[in-house]
Amino acid sequence: MRRVRLPSFVDVRDAAARIAPHALVTPVLRSDRLDALLGASVVFKCENLQRGGAFKFRGATNAVWSLTDEEAARGVVTHSSGNHGNALAMAARTRGIAAHVVVPEGAVKAKVEAIRMAGATLHRCAPSTAARERMTADLQAETGATLVHPYADVRVMAGQGTLVPELLRQAPGVDTLIFPVGGGGLAAGCSVAAHAIDPRIVLFGAEPEGADDTARSLETGRRAEPFTADTVCDGLRTLVGEPNLEVLRTHDVGVLRVSDAEAVEAMKLLWAELRLVIEVSSATVLAAMLRHRQRFVGRHIGVVLSGGNVDLDALPW
């Protein structure tokens, strides 16, 4: 992967202004029961209620509206297992341009249908990172469309980071932030924004054991090799990006592993306590706090619920 410039807080601030006409300011919620379970004060940033059902709309919209008119006329292209593809298709529609999305076989049916309904042209490929990147490169060469990478793109990372200033305005006093980690776009953007506003904020990522490449990469000091994920957390099966990993190292993000069983139980608990539909990938954050409770006792925690695009005919319980 070519060298990507890392995002700055100026990028995040500019992204916030750029996406303001299109993205929602999502609410925060809390639960007395969950506070008691964790021994902490917890606020949940509900990005499952963002347009498109996930935080991804922020980064995709920033990328699309960063294009020159000449670039925009040729459209955009990406690869995605679901939420980023849907977000990019929706963002492209706000500007009236074409979107091509490469989707691996086996992606969640509800997410694929959402991409189609948003107006993108779908292209199916084998379920591997190499196959996704190869087909995306071919489409880019064929159409002249601008690649909007799902996570290793400074515009995308900056856009995802815009949720943090919102959260800190909505919940003053947050001293800890936790978010799911897949490719690392959300994690990188949130880390940059949080430490620009308050360098004392403690940062955590949550990752399934069956796709723990970020944790392994940080432990060894070297990015993990491509792997086949073994997790129900479909949104977190992607190998962490190199620039994303560099941001996480710089900001001393601690990555906490959880089992699929723990994530599913946390998903049920969040559905019951917050009355919200969230994905199992989103539930990794609560699962991590419950499994590693001693790290969070007494803290004021901001929790990113990353998405709510669930296939109701294939729930993981």
Task: Give me the CATH number covering residue 177.
Answer: 3.40.50.1100
Least confident of 60-74, 125-139, 155-169, 294-308: 125-139
Whether residues 118 and 101 fall in one domain: yes
The boundaries of the domain holding residue 220 are 9-54+155-305
pLDDT in tens, 144-156: 999 999 999 999 9
Task: Reply yes or no on whether the pLDDT at 163 is more than 80.
Answer: yes
Whether residues 88 and 207 fall in one domain: no
178: Cβ contacts below 8 Å, ≥ 6 apart: 203, 204, 205, 206, 285, 288, 289, 301, 302, 303, 304
Among 106, 125, 151, identify where a domain stops: 151
Task: Reply yes or no on whether the pLDDT at 1 is more than 70.
Answer: no
Among 112, 131, 151, identify where a domain stops: 151
- Residue 178 included in any domain: yes
Whether residues 279 and 133 fall in one domain: no
Whether residues 171 and 269 fall in one domain: yes
Give the pLDDT confidence score for residue 2 in this predicted structure: 55
Whether residues 267 and 280 fall in one domain: yes
Mean pLDDT throughout 153-171?
Answer: 98
Whether residues 168 and 251 fall in one domain: yes
Task: Reply yes or no on whether the pLDDT at 130 is more than 90.
Answer: no
- Residue 315 included in any domain: no
Banded pLDDT at 196 (limits 50, 70, 90) = very high
Banded pLDDT at 3 (limits 50, 70, 90) = low
pLDDT in tens, 249-282: 999 999 999 999 999 999 999 999 999 999 999 9
Give the pLDDT confidence score for residue 160 in this predicted structure: 98
Among 91, 121, 151, identify where a domain stops: 151
Query: Which tokens go with 188?
Result: 């990188």
- Residue 316 included in any domain: no
Whether residues 239 and 265 fall in one domain: yes
Give the pLDDT confidence score for residue 264 in this predicted structure: 97
Rounded to an integer, what distance in angstroms lies between the CA atom of residue 180 and that of residue 164? 14
Whether residues 134 and 273 fall in one domain: no
- Cα dihedral sign, 61-62-65-67: negative
- Residue 1 included in any domain: no
Whether residues 274 and 175 fall in one domain: yes
- Residue 220 included in any domain: yes
- Residue 70 included in any domain: yes
Mean pLDDT throughout 26-30?
Answer: 98
pLDDT in tens, 7-19: 999 999 999 999 9
- Residue 105 included in any domain: yes
Whether residues 49 and 69 fall in one domain: no
Whether residues 13 and 116 fall in one domain: no
> What total number of domains does the chain contain?
2
Residues paired with 43 in a beta bridge: 302
Whether residues 181 and 281 fall in one domain: yes
- Residue 297 included in any domain: yes
Torsion angle of alpha carbons 263, 267, 269, 272, nearest 10°?
Answer: -170
Task: Give the 3-state DSSP-derived string for the chain, with helices as H, strands as E and coil as C.
Answer: CCCCCCCCHHHHHHHHHHHCCCCCCCCEECCHHHHHHHCCEEEEEEHHHCHHHECHHHHHHHHHHHCCHHHHHCCEEEECCCHHHHHHHHHHHHHCCCEEEEEECCCCHHHHHHHHHCCCEEEEECCCHHHHHHHHHHHHHHHCCEECCCCCCHHHHHHHHCHHHHHHHHCCCCCEEEEECCCCHHHHHHHHHHHHHCCCCEEEEEEEHHHCHHHHHHHHCCCCCCCCCCCCCHHHCCCCCHHHHHHHHHCCCEEEEECHHHHHHHHHHHHHHHCCCCCHHHHHHHHHHHHCHHHCCCCEEEEEECECCCCCCCCCC
